[in-house]
Amino acid sequence: MNLSELNHFIRQQWDQDILPRLVEYVKIPAKSPAFDASWAEHGHLAAVIALARDWATSLPGKLGGQQVLGGLTLEVVHIEGKTPCIFFDLPATQGLGSAQTVMFYGHLDKQPEMSGWREGLGPWIPVIEDDKLYGRGGADDGYALFSALTALAAVDLQGAARPRCVGLIETCEESGSFDLPAYLDLVKPRLGDVRLVIGLDSGCGNYDQLWVTTSLRGLVGGVLSVEILDEGVHSGMASGIVPSSFRIARKLLNRIDDVDSGRVLSEVFHAPIPQERLQQVRETGAILGDATWKAFPWVGCSHEPIGPGGKAGQPMHGENTAALHAMPTSTDPVEVLLNRTWRPALSVTGAAGLPQPDAAGNVLRPRTALKLSMRLPPTVDGDKASAHLKQLLEENPPYQARVSFKADWAATGWNAPATAPWLSRLLADASQKHFGKPVAFMGEGGTIPFMNMLGESFPQAQFLITGVLGPKSNAHGPNEFLHIPYVKKLTEAVASVVAGMATVTR
């Protein structure tokens, strides 16, 4: 292929066609069903599906004398009572057979608003600034369908051979993809022999090279509820006699992890780390260095040396107390990466029963509820971990309080199969051609339940799981952004990989 022409087409499509569509997409509060119980009535998921469908169906035709996306079929698949999906099917070109396929995956649903957006920004306010598109969902994962079909159109425009390509774009991923198994069962007979899965819903360690995700953590969670009274009572009368429901909840959390180190205690939540992954973590740690932890918006400032003789990552005391800033659990890049990818971690992500500070009287509250989220190593069974978490929290409740844990998440992670030599070659070539640097491999701390489902459904498939969620992109949080120059290059790299598949499928 003529890389100059391919890259020019893709960048032009992004600037003139895709970015305006993503601006409209960001405006739509298409929250995942876990965060919008009335999603069907509100119609926002249907709106983003329609936006993506209308754009995609306008693409097929002739460009520069070449037929692009010829024979593309795209349909909105909707099972009654479930969130809708888009399924597309694009025939092979240049005489390649249709039995073996490349499958694309992405999603259009979004996380909720989250507070803390800087002035002028907001979850549903698209702003393009400094080569970044700010707003909820552009990077996670609204861009995926646009990037995938643009890459395929670019290959066709070159007149290059490519295999048959199919795609499934869902609207339930941020809720754990609980609707997806039914859709996967529905379309599986139409997928053919899936040779390669390209998932565009992951991250990148920097914006300088192609990053391939080697693993994804699992996720379990739910609501821990602690009740000690039928109603609130005057704290002057009851404190010291009635234990605080918050203290009981805190005591229960101590069963799960060490309060000082954060290490999850039960070995049920841990898994052995494969040697291949350890080696990849060492290589990635050498690439990223302190960026593995400096990329986050820590309270404080520079993480530079503090005072005479101070070192970044070593808090000082005494006269330097005012210069202290928040610190990570470790500053060793290898340990940081392992903590994020192959070790469990517990977070409290929400609470109920706690009034706002300006409305809190001297009352001993009757109950406390905490939303818990625990990331799991890729190979830990999510259902077993969820059952174990419930047992640990509910057995032998302190002070005979009424304690319950209602699970709402149980997703097993994913560990990629060994990369086939042909895919290693295509990835290395694509990264050098489009980024000028070697391809890099890294596990991700997030969870994509679909990957485990697909891994089980197509055990012989290879996987290219990648994405645009790099440093400070802040998916799920405030000031989330899509890095525009990187997504253009990633689209180019995907086009090269798909075109390279022609040499594999013949």
What is residue 454's predicted lDDT score, i.e. its pLDDT? 81
Buried-exposed string 433-458: b where 16+ CB fall within 10 A, e elsewhere? bbbeeebbbbbbbbbbbbbbbbbebb
Element (H, E) at 465: strand 462-469
**CA pair distance 316, 296, nearest whole angstrom:** 21
Which is it for the CA torsion 247, 249, 254, 259, positive or negative? negative
Q: Residue 302's pLDDT is what?
A: 59
Helix axes 3-13, 421-435, angle to 10 degrees: 70
Is 450 strand, coil or helix?
helix
State the Cα–Cα distance between residues 253 and 266, nearest whole angstrom.
12
DSSP codes joined into one string, 267-297: GGG--PPPHHHHHHHHHHHHHHTTHHHHTS-
| Structural domain boundaries in the chain | 3-216+413-505, 218-280+332-411
CA–CA distance, 271 with 248 (Å, rounded to integer) = 29
Tell me the C-alpha distance between 500 and 431, whole Å: 13
SS3 79: coil
Do residues 87 and 185 make contact, with C-beta atoms less than 8 angstroms apart? no
Cα 149 to Cα 53: distance, rounded to the nearest angstrom:
11
pLDDT of residue 34: 93
CATH of 218-280+332-411, one of 3.40.50.300, 3.20.20.70, 3.40.50.2300, 3.30.70.360: 3.30.70.360
Predicted local distance difference test score (pLDDT) of residue 260: 94
For residues 363 and 382, give the distance between their C-alpha atoms in angstroms, rounded to a whole number: 39
Task: Return d(Cα 333, Cα 340) in angstroms, integer.
Answer: 11
Dihedral sign from CA coordinates of 162, 165, 171, 176: negative
Per-position b or e across 169-189, b if 16+ CB within 10 A of its CB: bbbbbbbbbbbbeebbeebee
Q: Give the integer Cα–Cα distance in Å for 228 and 328.
A: 35
Q: Look at strands 164-170 and 100-107 and give their pairing.
A: parallel
Query: What is the residue whose two structure tokens read 């701390």?
Result: 445
Where helices occur in 168-274 by DSSP H, the ranges are 180-187, 235-238, 245-253
Cα–Cα distance measured from residue 43 to residue 41, given in angstroms and rounded to the nearest whole number: 5
**Which of these, 250, 254, 256, 248, lies nearest to 228 by C-alpha position?**
248
pTM tops 0.95: no
SS3 (DSSP) at 367: strand
Q: Which CATH class is domain 3-216+413-505?
A: alpha beta
Q: For residue 200, which amino acid is it?
A: L
Cα 258 from Cα 398, distance rounded (Å):
18
pLDDT value of position 318: 41
Taking the C-alpha atoms of residue 270 and residue 380, their distance in angstroms, rounded to an integer, is 7
| Residues 137-152 as b or e (16 or more Cβ within 10 Å = b) | bbbbbbbbbbbbbbbb
Q: Do domains 3-216+413-505 and 218-280+332-411 have the same CATH topology?
A: no
Q: Give me the tens of pLDDT residue by residue for the chain, a chain 506 residues long.
A: 899 999 999 999 999 999 999 999 999 999 999 999 999 999 999 999 999 999 999 998 877 778 899 999 999 999 999 999 999 999 999 988 888 999 999 999 999 999 999 999 999 999 999 999 999 999 999 999 999 999 999 999 999 999 999 999 999 999 988 999 999 999 999 999 999 999 999 999 999 999 999 999 999 999 999 999 999 999 999 999 999 999 999 999 999 999 999 999 999 999 999 999 999 999 999 999 999 998 888 887 656 644 444 344 444 344 444 456 788 899 999 999 999 999 999 999 999 999 999 999 999 999 999 999 999 999 999 999 999 999 999 999 999 999 999 999 899 999 999 999 999 999 999 999 999 999 999 999 988 887 888 888 888 999 999 999 999 999 999 999 999 999 999 999 999 999 999 888 54
pLDDT, residue 303, reads 66
Give me the pLDDT at residue 314, please: 45
d(CA 93, CA 498): 12
Pairing of strands 233-234, 363-364: antiparallel
Q: Is 366 helix (H, G, I), strand (E, B) or coil?
A: coil
Per DSSP, the residues of 412-446 read --EEPPPPPHHHHHHHHHHHHHHHSS--EEEEESS
Cross-strand bridge partners of residue 239:
242
Q: How far is the CA of 37 from the CAs of 32, 40, 224, 291, 504, in angstroms?
A: 9, 8, 21, 38, 45
Tally the residues of the chain: 506
Q: What is the pLDDT of residue 306?
A: 43
d(CA 337, CA 279): 12
